[in-house]
Amino acid sequence: MTEPPRPPGEYGMPSDPNSGYPPQPPVSGGGYTPPPSSGGGYGAPPTSGAGYQQPGYQQPGYQQPGYEQSGYQQPGYQQPGYQQQGYQQPGYQQPGQYGAPGAGGPAPVGYANSDEKTWALIAHFGGILIGFIAPLIALLAKGNESPTVKAHANEALNFQITYGIALILSWIIGACTVILIFVPFLLWIYVLVMCIIGGMKANNGELYRYPATLRLIK
C-alpha cells in the first residue's frame, strides 16, 4: 500500500521540489531557535559578570603613553619665570658691593671710596675757615692710610703755610704803611679763591697744584 503525496512545505519535503535543499525541521512556537555552537565556535560576548568591561573604561593606575597627569612635573623641568632660591642672575651685583668693601655706593672718580673724597674736600675747603689746621687734621687722620688723601692734604697744607706767612707779613707792612693797608685784604681774597678752586678740583677727583707755593711738606 503506497503513501499519499504530501503538500509542499511539510516535514521531509522541500517547499520547492526543484531547489535541491534538504527538508527543513518543524518550527514550534512561531519562532526560530538557532542550533547551539559546538566545537570551539565563536560565541556572543558576555554582557555582565567576570571579564566584562564597559566601553571606555580604564583600569586604575593605567596611564596611556604620552599622557601627563595634572600637576605632574618632569625631572629637570623649570617653569618660565621661576627662579630658584639663592640664584643670582649674571651681571647682577648686590647693594653694598660697589667699590671698596664696606662702601655703600659706587666709588667716586679718582678715589678708592667716598671716605677718601670727604677728607680731601676737608683739606681744601676747610682752609677757608681755619687755615692750615684743616689740611693738617686730614693729613694726621688719613694720611698714613690713603696716599690720595695724603697728596691732597700736603698740597693744601703747603699752600696754607705759604700764604699764612704772607698774610702775617702783609698785616705788618699794612700797619707800618697806611698806603698798603689794603694788601692783606687782597691777599685774603686770593687765598679764598685758590681754596675754592682746589676744592672743586678735588671734587672732580683731580689733585690741584697751587701756584706760587713753597713745597715744605712732602
Three-class DSSP category at 110:
coil
Which of 39-43, 55-59, 121-125, 210-214 has the weakest average pLDDT?
Answer: 39-43
Mean of pLDDT values over 6-22: 53
Counting Cβ atoms within 10 Å, is residue 114 exposed (0-12), middle (13-18) or buried (19+)? middle
Mean pLDDT over the full length of the chain: 73
Provide the whole-model pTM: 0.52
Give me the pLDDT at residue 159, please: 97
Give me the pLDDT at residue 218, please: 83
Residue 46 has pLDDT above 90, yes or no: no
Give me the pLDDT at residue 6, please: 57
- Half-sphere exposure of residue 53, counting CA atoms within 13 Å on the CB side? 7
Cα–Cα dist 77/75, whole Å: 6
Which of 64-68, 103-107, 117-121, 207-211 has the weakest average pLDDT?
Answer: 64-68
Handedness of CA 149, 152, 156, 161 (dihedral sign): positive
Give me the pLDDT at residue 103, please: 44
Mean of pLDDT values over 129-158: 95
